[in-house]
């Protein structure tokens, strides 16, 4: 039985990202961190000592003491760990992508539905304060351009870059465009690892919107940008800087709000460009999404990125990956 004010939670897999899960969970008032499990005992001891939290030698013993777990193992293990946790009645937060395959994701959805358990997936950019800041804007995209580039790191290479990085932008695009998909053109190249390290896709939606996504894990510099073009409006989000800028074309000069500037459009007597850089309140996206998971359990409500939306993102990612594989 869950205490209405706090949720007993454990973390499975305390590698690079699991370390931050432990750190952030400790800062969330509605969380009671019960302990951690990692199949690598040395890593588990290190994290257990540095945060002074119990380490469990048997994963099932941790499940037995928890209402929920956060699964931060490599993607290949999400399915088996999530099913084992749900078998012991634990709600699950699963890092992105939900699983490596669609049948695995569907197993998790079925189990969660049968047992009435909550599944949230770590599509963290949907909790990025810059992305949250555009919720006040009227978003009706006609063209979207995404760049997600990062230097090479062997972590995450158990899956292609489409499932590792592009999945973030796929989830975002599906949350922004309400239409179905008409056409997909994709290409990708294995440069360093056994699967595509760089990929590009052009997705044409049935409402005419087009999204062009490029993801790379072999770039010299990091970039995480989303640009939305729509009638009379251009919006750009920098996920790394946590900033939003928008340019809106108006026929008459409106009363300007704070953070807004106006420019006369050259060659157009009656057109004005209104530049807006809304204040984005800095916040920790990981803490926000984990707190949202715990609140969803406490209030028994559907999380923002539930298992179904994460599975839709995975289905599109795998469709893209299959096109890339056929070309290679
Ligand atoms: P990592 O390799 O640094 O850590 C994984 C940890 O899991 C290791 O300590 C390993 O010993 C442990 N582990 C492996 N198999 C296990 C098992 N069966 N049971 C328990 N522990 C096990 O990897 P990482 O970079 O922390 O990535 C972990 C997950 O987080 C991946 O799914 C990855 O896609 C995701 N991730 C998400 C983001 C994001 O932006 N949301 C960023 C990085 C990683």
Q: Report pLDDT for 251.
A: 82
Ligand 1, atom 42: closest residue by C-alpha: 17
Report helix, strand or coil for 170: helix
Number of domains in the chain: 2
Spatial separation of the C-alpha atoms in residues 220 and 151, rounded to whole Å: 5
Ligand 1, atom 14: closest residue by C-alpha: 73
Residue 4: pLDDT band by 50, 70, 90 thresholds? confident
| pLDDT tens digit sequence for 93-131 | 999 999 999 999 999 999 999 999 999 999 999 999 999
Which residue range forms the structural domain that includes residue 17? 7-117
Residue 142 belongs to some domain of the structure: yes
Asked if residues 216 and 150 have their Cβ atoms less than 8 Å apart, the reply is yes
Is 269 found in the same domain as 180? yes
Q: Which of 65, 85, 117 is the last residue of a domain?
A: 117
- The percentage of the chain sitting over the pLDDT mark of 70, rounded to a whole number, equals 98
Task: Classify residue 154 by burial, with Cβ atoms within 10 Å: 0-12, 13-18, 19+.
Answer: exposed
Q: Give which of 59, 17, 16, 64 is closest to 36, Cα–Cα.
A: 59
**How many angstroms does the Cα of residue 173 sit away from the middle of ligand 1?**
25
**How many angstroms does the Cα of residue 22 sit away from the middle of ligand 1?**
13
Q: Report pLDDT for 158.
A: 83
Choose between 156 and 78: higher pLDDT: 78
Average confidence (pLDDT) over 50-74: 98
Residue 1 belongs to some domain of the structure: no
Q: Please give the backbone phi and psi of residue 268, each rounded to the nearest 5 degrees, phi first.
A: -125, 105
Residue 2: pLDDT band by 50, 70, 90 thresholds? low
Q: Which of 42, 71, 74 to mutate to test the pocket of ligand 1 (most atoms within 8 A of CB)?
A: 74
**How many angstroms does the Cα of residue 15 sit away from the middle of ligand 1?**
6
Spatial separation of the C-alpha atoms in residues 174 and 218, rounded to whole Å: 25
Ligand 1, atom 43: closest residue by C-alpha: 17
**How many angstroms does the Cα of residue 75 sit away from the middle of ligand 1?**
7
Q: Please give the backbone phi and psi of residue 114, each rounded to the nearest 5 degrees, phi first.
A: -60, -40
Is it the case that residue 250 has pLDDT exceeding 90?
A: no
Can you tell me which residue has the tokens 């690598």? 40
**How many angstroms does the Cα of residue 17 sit away from the middle of ligand 1?**
6
Name the token pair of 168. Answer: 């973030």
Q: Report pLDDT for 268.
A: 66
Is 113 found in the same domain as 177? no
Can you tell me which residue has the tokens 């949720």? 7
Average confidence (pLDDT) over 183-192: 96
Pairing of strands 91-95, 119-122: parallel
Q: Report pLDDT for 260.
A: 83
Pick the atom of ligand 1 nearest to 19's CA. 26
- Helices marked H in 118-234 — which ranges? 129-133, 161, 167-176
**How many angstroms does the Cα of residue 249 sit away from the middle of ligand 1?**
45
Q: Report pLDDT for 257.
A: 80
Residue 302 belongs to some domain of the structure: no
Choose between 257 and 107: higher pLDDT: 107
Is 89 found in the same domain as 67? yes
Asked if residues 194 and 188 have their Cβ atoms less than 8 Å apart, the reply is no
Q: Is the dihedral of CA 248, 253, 259, 264 positive or negative?
A: positive
Ligand 1, atom 9: closest residue by C-alpha: 15
Asked if residues 203 and 135 have their Cβ atoms less than 8 Å apart, the reply is no
Whole-prediction pTM: 0.95
Spatial separation of the C-alpha atoms in residues 325 and 275, rounded to whole Å: 42
Q: Report pLDDT for 272.
A: 86
Residue 271: pLDDT band by 50, 70, 90 thresholds? confident
**How many angstroms does the Cα of residue 89 sit away from the middle of ligand 1?**
22
Is 73 found in the same domain as 35? yes
Residues with CB under 6 A from ligand 1: 12-18, 37-40, 43, 72-75, 77, 81, 95-96, 122, 124, 155-156, 164
Is it the case that residue 321 has pLDDT exceeding 80?
A: yes
Is it the case that residue 270 has pLDDT exceeding 90?
A: no
Query: Average pLDDT, whole number, for the chain?
Result: 95
Q: Is the dihedral of CA 12, 66, 295, 5 positive or negative?
A: negative
Is 171 found in the same domain as 266? yes
Is 237 found in the same domain as 189? yes
Asked if residues 105 and 80 have their Cβ atoms less than 8 Å apart, the reply is no
Residue 256: pLDDT band by 50, 70, 90 thresholds? confident
Q: Give which of 94, 99, 119 is closest to 109, Cα–Cα.
A: 119
Average confidence (pLDDT) over 64-87: 98
- Helices marked H in 26-101 — which ranges? 41-51, 59-65, 78-87
CATH number for the domain that contains residue 52: 3.40.50.720
Average confidence (pLDDT) over 265-269: 70
Q: Give which of 233, 327, 303, 226 is closest to 70, Cα–Cα.
A: 303
Is it the case that residue 1 has pLDDT exceeding 70?
A: no
Residue 181 belongs to some domain of the structure: yes
Asked if residues 24 and 290 have their Cβ atoms less than 8 Å apart, the reply is yes
**How many angstroms does the Cα of residue 72 sit away from the middle of ligand 1?**
5
Q: Report pLDDT for 261.
A: 82
Is 109 found in the same domain as 212? no
Pick the atom of ligand 1 nearest to 43's CA. 9
Pick the atom of ligand 1 nearest to 18's CA. 26
| pLDDT tens digit sequence for 277-306 | 988 988 999 999 999 999 999 999 999 999
Q: Report pLDDT for 107.
A: 98
Q: Report pLDDT for 259.
A: 79
- Helices marked H in the chain — which ranges? 16-25, 41-51, 59-65, 78-87, 102-115, 129-133, 161, 167-176, 285-298, 307-327
**How many angstroms does the Cα of residue 224 sit away from the middle of ligand 1?**
21
Ligand 1, atom 27: closest residue by C-alpha: 74
CATH number for the domain that contains residue 163: 3.30.360.10
Average confidence (pLDDT) over 154-176: 93
Is it the case that residue 254 has pLDDT exceeding 90?
A: no
Asked if residues 25 and 9 have their Cβ atoms less than 8 Å apart, the reply is yes
Ligand 1, atom 17: closest residue by C-alpha: 39
């Amino acid at each position: 039985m869950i205490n209405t004010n706090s949720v007993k939670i454990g973390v499975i897999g305390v590698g690079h990202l699991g370390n931050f899960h432990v750190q952030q969970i400790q800062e969330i008032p509605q969380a009671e961190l019960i302990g951690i499990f990692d199949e690598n005992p040395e890593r588990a001891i290190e994290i257990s000592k540095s945060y002074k939290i119990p380490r469990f030698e048997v994963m099932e013993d941790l499940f037995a003491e928890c209402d929920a777990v956060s699964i931060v193992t490599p993607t290949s293990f999400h399915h088996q760990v999530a099913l084992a946790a749900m078998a012991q009645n634990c709600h699950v937060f699963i890092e992105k992508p939900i699983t490596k395959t669609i049948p695995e994701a569907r197993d998790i959805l079925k189990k969660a539905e049968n047992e009435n358990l909550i599944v949230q997936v770590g599509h963290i950019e949907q909790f990025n304060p810059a992305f949250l800041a555009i919720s006040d804007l009227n978003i009706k995209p006609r063209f979207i351009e995404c760049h997600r580039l990062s230097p090479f790191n062997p972590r995450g290479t158990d899956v292609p870059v489409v499932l590792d990085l592009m999945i973030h932008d796929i989830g975002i695009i599906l949350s922004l465009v309400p239409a179905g998909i008409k056409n997909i053109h994709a290409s990708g190249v294995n440069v360093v690892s056994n699967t595509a390290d760089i990929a590009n896709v052009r997705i044409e939606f049935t409402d005419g919107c087009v999204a062009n996504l490029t993801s790379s894990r072999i770039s010299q510099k990091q970039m995480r940008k989303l640009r939305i073009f729509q009638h009379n409006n251009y919006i750009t989000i920098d996920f790394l800087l946590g900033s939003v800028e928008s340019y809106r074309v108006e026929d008459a000069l409106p009363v300007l709000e704070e953070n807004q500037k106006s420019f006369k459009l050259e060659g157009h007597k009656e057109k004005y460009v209104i530049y807006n850089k809304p204040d984005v309140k800095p916040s920790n996206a990981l803490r926000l999404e984990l707190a949202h998971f715990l609140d969803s359990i406490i209030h028994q409500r559907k999380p923002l990125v539930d298992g179904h939306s994460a599975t839709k993102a995975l289905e599109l990612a795998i469709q893209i990956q299959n096109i890339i594989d056929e070309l290679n």
